Structure formats: C-alpha cells, structure tokens
Amino acid sequence: MAAAGESNAGPMRRAVFLDRDGVLNRVTYRAGKAESPLSLEELQLMPGVKAGLRLLRGAGFLLIGVTNQPDVVRGNVRREVVEAINNRLAAELGLDEILTCWHDDNDQCACRKPKPGLLLAAVRTHRIALAESYIVGDRWRDIEAGQAAGCRTVWLRAPYAEREPLRPADFVTGRFEDAARWILRESETPA
C-alpha cells in the first residue's frame, strides 16, 4: 500500500521551475527593451546560474524551464531557433525539460504565464508536489504563475522596468546563486 503523498507509481517530487530569458540566459536589448535572444549567437548564460543549478540538483530538485516565447507567433523568430536555444540551455545546464508557450496574450491559452498551465503540465509528466516546489522568474508573469500553481516564488530582480506582481514574491534577490541558497534553506525548514 502507498504511503501518504505517494501512489503506486512512486513518491511525488520537488521541482524548481525556471523562467528562461533573464533567469537562465541574458536578455537582449532591442530599442531599449529587454527581449529574448533571437539566435544561438545571442545566447549567453546569466552569471551564477550553473553553480546555483548544481546546488539545486544536488538537493534532489527537478529543474524545469518554463518560458513564454510569443516572438514565434509574432513572426520575429522561427520555432526551430527557439527550440535550438532551449536544447542548448537544457544540455549545458542539465535541465530535465523546458516547456514552452508559443502563444501571445490575445490567444487566451492556458499555458501562457501568468496562467499556470506550463507548471501543471510538468506536474502530470514528472509527478511534482507543487507545495514543495519553487519558481524563479524575473517578471511579474512568472511570480503570478507560480502563485496560481501553489509554488513558493522567487523574483530575480532585473535592471529593466517590470511591474510588481499582484502579491509579493516569497523572496526577492538580484542574484541567481542567492535564490538557489534561499530555496535550499527554505526546503530544509520544517513546515
């Protein structure tokens, strides 16, 4: 018989959901606006991300990217290029998966953050316990998606203008390694 919190398929797992642009990789500035890289040549990792992810992986967290990529539907970049960027990030950083929303706001899909659809899809695939999981993002959309899904939230403050989430994040920092260390401390604290 399965113990509480488990099924016959095994225990639920903890995850750290990670926004892509501005968290895993640097944004690219076009006309003064922070945007996604549009090529592999523009792709640069954020400082401290490899070290922080190693800490999280070592603590047993699944590492899952969750990213809105509306530039495809807007005609600014081909889907194959975004997939190549995702694949390189997953390989270089040891991510378990990167889930992508290809829609724009007008599409009213369930997967575009701030809606929690990408996180919920990962739950079904990876048997994730959302209450024991975290999301790290640099935009209000990431924080609100995590809150809607029932995760703890980390806002990685960026130098570009970004509106505040409706409810404050659980932790705010400007450095990924600080975010990783906070998650490790919080995950060890008894409820």
pLDDT in tens, 106-136: 999 999 999 999 999 999 999 999 999 999 9
Q: Number of H helices and number of E strands within the chain?
A: 5, 10
Rounded to whole angstroms, the Cα distance separating 42 from 34 reads 13
Which of 97, 85, 100 has the alpha carbon at shortest distance from 61?
97
Tell me which residues are annotated as active site. 19, 21
Rounded to whole angstroms, the Cα distance separating 191 from 187 reads 9
Query: In whole numbers, what is the pLDDT of the chain averaged over residues?
Result: 93
Total residue length of the chain: 191
Tokens of 39: 């090529």
Q: Tell me, yes or no, if the pTM score tops 0.75.
A: yes
- The residue with tokens 């450095």 is 175
Residue 5, pLDDT > 60, answer no
- The residue with tokens 């929303």 is 101
Tokens of 86: 């995702």
The pLDDT of residue 191 is 52
Phi then psi for 181, rounded to 5 degrees? -65, -40
Rounded to whole angstroms, the Cα distance separating 53 from 58 reads 8
Which of 165, 77, 61 has the alpha carbon at shortest distance from 113?
165
Q: Could you read off the pLDDT of 13-66 as tens digits, one per residue? A: 999 999 999 999 999 998 888 899 999 999 999 999 999 999 999 999 999 999
Beta-strand pair 15-18/6-7: unpaired
Rounded to whole angstroms, the Cα distance separating 109 from 99 reads 14
Q: Is 13-188 a CATH 3.40.50.1000 domain? A: yes
The pLDDT of residue 1 is 35
Residue by residue, DSSP assigns 61-91 as -EEEEEEE-TTTTTTSS-HHHHHHHHHHHHH
